[in-house]
Amino acid sequence: MAEKSTLARPYANAIFQLAREQGELAKWSGMLQLIAVVAEDPTMRQLIGNPEFERSRLEALFLEICGDGLDEQGRNLVRLLIENKRLEVAPQIADLYEARRAEAEGTVDVEVVSAFPLDADLQAQLAAALERRLGQEVNLRVKIDESLIGGVLVRAGDLVIDASITGRLEQLANTLMH
């Protein structure tokens, strides 16, 4: 994973610089997400990894699937990634770009995994508490994972707060084992 991030970082940084200069951060977010989704498709991954599949055919197919979701610069990025055999790192490029964009905009994406659905009031309280702790505006995404039994798991960049019952049980088991 680290290797893919290392390969993706120069592309993400260059795209971010271009997008910021053009004032098109949101537009590039959309194009990069589209490229990442298409590149992650299992059938497309097989074609990307197949050295016998002609690069020109891959380019034509990829651009056809993306359709009007890419402007000329987005199409050129796809061509460049195919030419440099870096299309497989498109998801990492999109992730790194989004991290740079969030940092520039003073926001942070936070994933909250809960055992049960969180009502809007509780989500607002959680977002406010995280904004105070992180010192940035929070974009909250909530997912449900019943295997947590109870509580929440919060991920914000490198920060992970495990306040789930499952996490506490694992901590207790580790303490008892040592």
Q: Does residue 116 sit in the same domain as residue 172? A: yes
Q: Does residue 11 sit in the same domain as residue 96? A: yes
Q: What percent of the chain has pLDDT over 70?
A: 99
Provide mean pLDDT across the span 152-161: 84
Q: Does residue 44 sit in the same domain as residue 79? A: yes
Domain end call among 102, 135, 165: 102
Q: Does residue 86 sit in the same domain as residue 135? A: no
Mean pLDDT of the chain: 91
Q: pLDDT tens digits for 109-147?
A: 889 999 889 999 999 999 999 899 888 889 899 999 988
Q: Does residue 85 sit in the same domain as residue 119? A: no
Structural domains in the chain (count): 2
Q: Does residue 77 sit in the same domain as residue 156? A: no
pLDDT for the residue numbered 61: 96
pTM for the predicted model, two decimal places = 0.68
pLDDT for the residue numbered 40: 96
Nearest residue to 38 via CA among 8, 2, 81: 81
Judge whether residue 2 has pLDDT over 60.
Answer: no
Q: Does residue 98 sit in the same domain as residue 110? A: no
Judge whether residue 108 has pLDDT over 80.
Answer: yes
pLDDT for the residue numbered 178: 81
Buried/exposed code over 133-170 (b: 16+ C-beta within 10 A; e: otherwise):
eeebebebeeeeeeebeebbbbebeeeeebebebbeee
The mean-pLDDT minimum among 29-33, 40-44, 112-116 falls in 112-116
Q: Does residue 12 sit in the same domain as residue 46? A: yes
Judge whether residue 82 has pLDDT over 90.
Answer: yes
Residue of 88 and 105 predicted with greater confidence: 88
pLDDT for the residue numbered 151: 85
